[in-house]
């Protein structure tokens, strides 16, 4: 595995699957977190995820500057797990960043990454058409982001009910 893209719905098992795949790599592991703890419940989720990962992992936060953090981190570890692109996209949209430019930069950072890397994202386009402009924008941008990142990865899997379906 060099570049793995793991998609799925909420609580589908995608993060666990990606973590297991990366933990198969010997050496130093880095978890790049895109989440931000804006409330107590999210802070508790983040703390639980960190505890579940164990001592092999070093956590680096990248709520906005993900491409740069991937490039900087790859030089000091043996494998990377990015979780998740969907939260990163939310951060970009809410901070009014140019999503197309950021997506292109992420694609380039993944293409340049010479160590194993797994990237996790939600598939949000399987439901109904959202009823408001922001939600439709988010759904559309998430679909475009996922398509672009899939082209940068040698392996793409979809998780449902904890089961992986390999697309590529």
Q: What is the pLDDT along the chain (168 residues), one digit of tens a residue?
A: 699 999 999 889 999 999 999 999 999 999 999 987 778 887 777 777 777 788 889 999 999 999 999 999 999 999 999 999 999 999 999 999 999 999 999 999 999 999 999 999 999 988 888 899 999 999 999 999 999 999 999 999 999 999 999 999
97 an active-site residue? no
**What φ, ψ does residue 133 adopt, rounded to 5°?**
-60, -45
3-166 folds as Rossmann fold (3.40.50)
Cα–Cα distance list, 6 to 76, 101, 129, 138 (Å): 23, 22, 23, 19
Q: Select which of 49, 58, 71, 107 is catalytic.
A: 49
Tell me the pTM: 0.93
What size, in residues, is the chain? 168
């Amino acid at each position: 595995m060099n570049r793995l893209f793991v998609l799925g719905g909420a609580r589908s098992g995608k993060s666990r699957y990606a973590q297991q795949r990366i933990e198969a790599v010997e050496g130093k592991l880095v978890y790049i977190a895109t989440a931000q703890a804006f409330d107590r419940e999210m802070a508790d989720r983040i703390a639980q995820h960190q505890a579940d990962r164990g001592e092999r992992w070093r956590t680096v936060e990248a709520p906005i500057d993900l491409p740069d953090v991937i490039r900087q981190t790859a030089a000091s570890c043996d494998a990377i797990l990015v979780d998740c692109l969907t939260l990163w996209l939310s951060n970009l949209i809410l901070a009014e960043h140019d999503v197309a430019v950021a997506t292109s930069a992420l694609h380039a950072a993944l293409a340049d990454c010479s160590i194993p890397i797994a990237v996790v994202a939600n598939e949000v386009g399987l439901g109904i058409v959202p009823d408001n402009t922001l939600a439709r924008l988010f759904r559309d941008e998430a679909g475009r982001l996922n398509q672009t990142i899939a082209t940068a990865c040698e392996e793409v899997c979809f998780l449902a009910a904890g089961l992986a379906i390999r697309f590529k």
